[in-house]
Structure 1
């Protein structure tokens, strides 16, 4: 912090220097000026936080200096040190923000107190200013985070409900450059991420959100130049980027090629686009979007003739449409039930020989085959009420297509993945059949989860659709103890753990392990353990207090 002393008398300036404990107040630099004009020059260069000024000086007065300071450096704290107890001077000091008015000769205590007050106020104001600045920065960051979300939600809503446009027409025209004239047309394009090249896929495998952020930013940078459209993340499909175009619609394919060139430079790869035809805005938006999606579904996954797939009304090539995964259901199911790896590989091989004979494979076909496969999986698992192992590993990735390094469909990789899934499924089915055959262990787990409830043998029989006699017999065979003793052993074992806590009453422990009557609990506990619950607790406390001494004596003896 810096201080400026302004006075035409040198001995006054020296007195102020000597009378204040500057080090205690963390004042690092003390400046001097003999008149108002030189003081202004120093302030412009050094910008001190505190100024001492005389009121009567050659040239401009102290009042004029204070007026200039207030207008130019409003946060600077001014302390008046004057030999004149004049009302006009005092009034001027108050008017222009003087913090204190000290009369000469200077009282050291008054001077120290005035400087301390000025330092304290200035630091408080600086802290508030820093906090306000930080708050402004945080608000700006938050707004920058909210804006893309708002944009995505706004245009997703518009795509789903075109009439929504009329409630936001002025805002959309102002913020995104939508033409205000009536009768305009629009086109929808979809940027597909499901056939990325290996380079991009590897780079962003664990940073998918960053990839979306980068792609949308690049798209909007080009679209904003001519206010010709907007790119956004579609809320109904969070793995899809949609471009809404409303200017130079005939040049849309060229624009998408330009975007791919920008993607190559920034991200190291290109992306496939589906492009719908021009439709009336806003009601034609959903139709154009559906066309863009259809154009992507119709593309050949084995060959890439172009990165831009324009929708066409031409009749779709139906070759391969009659091939269904369900036609091979019986062969694959028998292979699964056999549990033999070679039989599963043979069944999968038959399916892929049929797929490999097709001249082209379109995304629409693959999606249909995958849907059929998932339905069959559920059918195979349903009789055993078996969880799907494919869904227990944290969910599926955003693309289920097995691709090669160029982002094209790889039948070899798909075959390997499908074989691996079916081998895992076959093992799961075998284990589940075995578990169902030995239902007694499922009953055991149920008892361990509900030991504190009234789990009677009859309730278990009803729950698992078995007879009481069968459960009793199997329990004796498997665990070498009858059902009631098994439940009691679990409860007493849990009670031993709870009794180690001195904060729990015996009655509370009894209730927590399924004994509503604490006297009956004590009777059963003593029968099993050989001690009452209270005696058992005392022994545990005694053992814990003896143990450290025993350890100490052992260490001394060694």
Structure 2
């Protein structure tokens, strides 16, 4: 409720206005009276006055002079003037000084109530805006981490999206909150970086992005900007008036922010400006912005405003990849990449393809590559389990540009593997080196060797036997026993230690293997070697 003061040198009229009008129904709680400017100033010193209804012509000091004083000392107070003279110059001067309206005496009751109702509505809205601005400033300056945690809990549904639950949670955390306040959410999506950063550097870049966003979007001191999920930032700006004018301002600021991200932070960014919503509606609004972002696979460095036309994703036909599989099998990987890029680049900047289209392309292309690699005996799932491949795979469905990067990497990796396979000597060298480096490991087996060279174990066995004259398992056993023989001859290590050094954890098993190959136990072999009477049994 508001406080009002009636100022008029006609005491009878002043008292009549105070008693005859139902001020409480208009939102006025207390009505003070003054019969000249001096008394009015005394009331200001003792009471809060939100509105004055003031006569212009008064002795000693006019209403216009009083209004000038009020403007200097109490700028939030609204003024409505009364006068008996319909002089244009007086009305013009009153409006220049900031008077809300100008009424002619005698004032009809309905006209007075209509004008007072309008000014009360304006005062209430202004106070709400100031209150919400103060709340936003308090969040930003004094309790940003607590306020961020509150809204993350609301968005993640840890706090139910109900006004009472949010109010209670805010009070428990000593965070100012008004359920009548509206918030304007802005989702900032970092679509990709054009440089490779370490995890530490990415954190530094994200911190710099937040600082830049707070400054350019004018969030600093008037709301919050914080990390939502990996690659996504969220701004929440307290807001009360119609949001359309602010949205246009934010669109311009967002375009400036995107330009700075491209120039200074080596990244592509898209920004989604939502609708102003109440606190309990924030979770739903943010969810819609996130879904909007996930569905955007063809636009980068663009500002999207809620309420503008959103893209309608059509069912796009995925190209037949049978011809591509034949090209890849015949070693024409470059042509596969060229044709795939022609298709994908035709989608960039268009509204038709959505996330579902990109996922279907991704699935079909992956199936095509795996089919060709299987024909070649290559274990595709092992070929692409490195960190770089995994990262590109996960990001491929994020945008058409990311899909192009993944296609290039996938085809190049497949071509390199198939090229190595054609050079049999290279495969054999890799196998022998891998076995030599891990000969003491009990885990060394045909399967681990096959995984290392990304080949099917049976296929590797056939290839290795053709070139080396023994299966992989036989070759591993031969190398282990040759090493054991050297250690028995050249060292004083206990036989149990030698067994362990050559990949045998079971001493009895080692002894049986050794005796089968050399016709004697390891202990007898060492004794005869010392006597110079060894008769070796060839493997």
TM-score by length of 1: 0.47
